[in-house]
Amino acid sequence: MSLLNKLFNFVLLTTQKYNIDESHGLSHSMAILRTTHELYEEEVKQHPLLKQYEKVIYVASTIHDMCDKKYMDQADGIKEIDAFLNEDLSPTDMNLVKLIISTMSYSYVKANGFPVTGPYKHAYHIVREADLLTAYDFDRCMIYNMHRKNGNVEEAFQEATALFQNRVLRHNDDELFTLASSRKKSLILETRALAQIDTWKRLIKNPILK
């Protein structure tokens, strides 16, 4: 079995075990891996030493939510990831994966700032910023809230809108992007997110759907 297949199988098994909803499940893992790859291809042109961390970057991005505090104890999740990957990564690479996935969340960075990552700095930021970019998907935020609100689309919309106003649409103002390629993508995604919000607002207010 290829490493890619093994990673996605692990995501499927973990989402089932911990009842992780689709907003943080397989589709999100696929989206962030794709985004990570796009950022990596841009950044490696300027930072060729990134090539030695390519596997770490892809692995960390694919399985980063399989230790998410919203669904499980983070330490337990990281132990399961460590056991799962111990035959596929060197101890050094495994430690780097664990460092990235345990310190890349929005809440961690806002509370503690960026960790000291030394020569791994660009690898860390590629994975972290790919995750930030996937957060611009307003539908994904709606899905997460609908699972929490038992399918109540109006409440899900209100909470998602508040999150975007207070967090997602402030990513650039909060200086959370360190990579030029991320900032460029974020502006495109911000326009798309605003269009999504406007569409949902009109749908929810549509008298035909009342």
Residue 118 shares a structural domain with residue 165 = no
**b/e code 126-146 from CB counts within 10 Å (16+ = b):** bbbbbbbbbbbbbebbbbbbb
Q: Which distant-in-sequence residues (6+ apart) come within 8 Å of 157 by Cβ?
A: 142, 145, 200, 201, 204
Residue 40 shares a structural domain with residue 4 = yes
pTM: 0.95
pLDDT class of 86 with cuts at 50, 70, 90: confident
In the chain, the amino acid numbered 146 is: M
Residue 115 shares a structural domain with residue 102 = yes
pLDDT class of 210 with cuts at 50, 70, 90: confident
Residue 123 shares a structural domain with residue 144 = no
Domain ranges, residue 142: 137-210
Residue 116 shares a structural domain with residue 170 = no
Residue 120 shares a structural domain with residue 154 = no
Judge whether residue 151 has pLDDT over 90. no
What pLDDT digit, counting tens, does each position of 20-58 carry? Answer: 999 999 999 999 999 999 999 999 999 999 999 999 999
Residue 127 shares a structural domain with residue 142 = no
